[in-house]
Amino acid sequence: MHISPQWFLLWGVPLLYTPSSSGLRFSVRHTHDCISSDQTFYVEQDRRRTEYRNVTGGEKRRWDGSRNVLYGPQLASIVRCDLGQMFELNLDAGEYVAAPYPPQPLSKARTEALGLKTPQFVASDKPTLQIEITTLDTGERKDFFGYTARHVITTRRQIPLEGSKSSAQQMVTDGWYIDLDTSISCDAMRLSGRPAHAFVAVGNTPIEKMEFVDKGKPETGFATEWKITTKEAITLPDGTKKEDRTFIDEMLVTQLVEGPLDPGLFAISTGFRRVEHIDRNPPTNLPDDWSLTWECLKASVARLFR
């Protein structure tokens, strides 16, 4: 799955809040270039469980257009605001790791131990990169699991200014949203009381001095489905421009159920061992041609019946 080095996209999988006497379960399917991945969320007021599998796809294609799709072990993460802890479990191996939540900033020693580099900030008083966000409510409405969903198109343009090291980029999100507050009590957005822009640079690229421009009222609802089309300009090492690259990502909430949840979902199962590291990655062996074709066919059929 492609994520631009400059954008940190939260896939619109919202953070949830529901009364303590109830709960919420929902499932989300992401599809990118015939590669699908599913996540299931269980949420109460101060706790959340997420079940998922990591997936990767090689660039090399088979005769039928499919890709080398690799799925990792069954994983789950549990956030407990009442304990100030987050647990990540390998359900197949019966192992888990634990860490404080909300996450604590890395110390200098820990940063060096992980081989991470200190960001190099742009030395400029003027913005070097502008992010223009235009939000348009089309006025269309439809029912979604008993909620009224609104059709909103959001266009994000990444515009390099003088001194920028980033490429031009445009990201159009064609989505549907409902009014459902989806944070738990210790999530960052819930603690701050307001949403904020997010931008992350990776690698050795200097961090830009950002300027955000909002046009229209930003959409803050729960995304029930969307199609994201990203176009990014390519700059070669010699500075010349190449044709734009286009990527399409799709998301659909396939299940949304309100009601009591089993307390055991938010506890470590008996027999699980605490370890320093769990295996999260797909196996190194490649699937055969038939399994690749089947996964691609399932993704295509699913899109036809949305």
Q: How many CA atoms lie within 13 A of 193 on its CB side?
A: 0
4: in domain:
no
Instruction: Quote the CA–CA distance of 65 and 204 in Å, as a whole number.
Output: 34
16: in domain:
no
32: in domain:
yes
270: in domain:
yes
Decide: helix, strand or coil at residue 151: strand
17: in domain:
no
Full-model pTM: 0.76
78: number of Cβ within 10 Å: 23
pLDDT band at 266 (very low <50, low <70, confident <90, very high): very high
Q: How many domains does the chain have?
A: 1
Instruction: Quote the CA–CA distance of 126 and 122 in Å, as a whole number.
Output: 10
pLDDT band at 165 (very low <50, low <70, confident <90, very high): confident
143: in domain:
yes
39: in domain:
yes
Give the residue from 10, 83, 71 showing the smallest Cα distance to 46.
Answer: 83
Query: pLDDT tens across 29-63, in order?
Result: 999 877 889 999 999 999 999 999 998 865 555 55
Query: pLDDT tens across 72-114, in order?
Result: 999 999 999 999 999 999 999 999 999 999 887 777 776 777 6
Phi, psi of 189 (to 5 degrees): -65, -35
Instruction: Quote the CA–CA distance of 191 and 183 in Å, as a whole number.
Output: 10
Instruction: Quote the CA–CA distance of 29 and 40 in Å, as a whole number.
Output: 9
pLDDT of residue 13: 39
Instruction: Quote the CA–CA distance of 245 and 232 in Å, as a whole number.
Output: 5
**Residues 65, 67, 73, CA angle at the centre, nearest 5°?**
150
Rg (CA), the chain: 21
pLDDT band at 235 (very low <50, low <70, confident <90, very high): low
**Domain assignment of residue 73, given as a range:** 24-304
Which long-range contacts (C-beta less than 8 Å, at least 24 apart) are formed by 154-158? 154/218, 154/219, 156/131, 156/132, 157/130, 157/131, 157/132, 157/133, 158/6, 158/7, 158/129, 158/130, 158/131
Tokens of 229: 């089309």
137: in domain:
yes
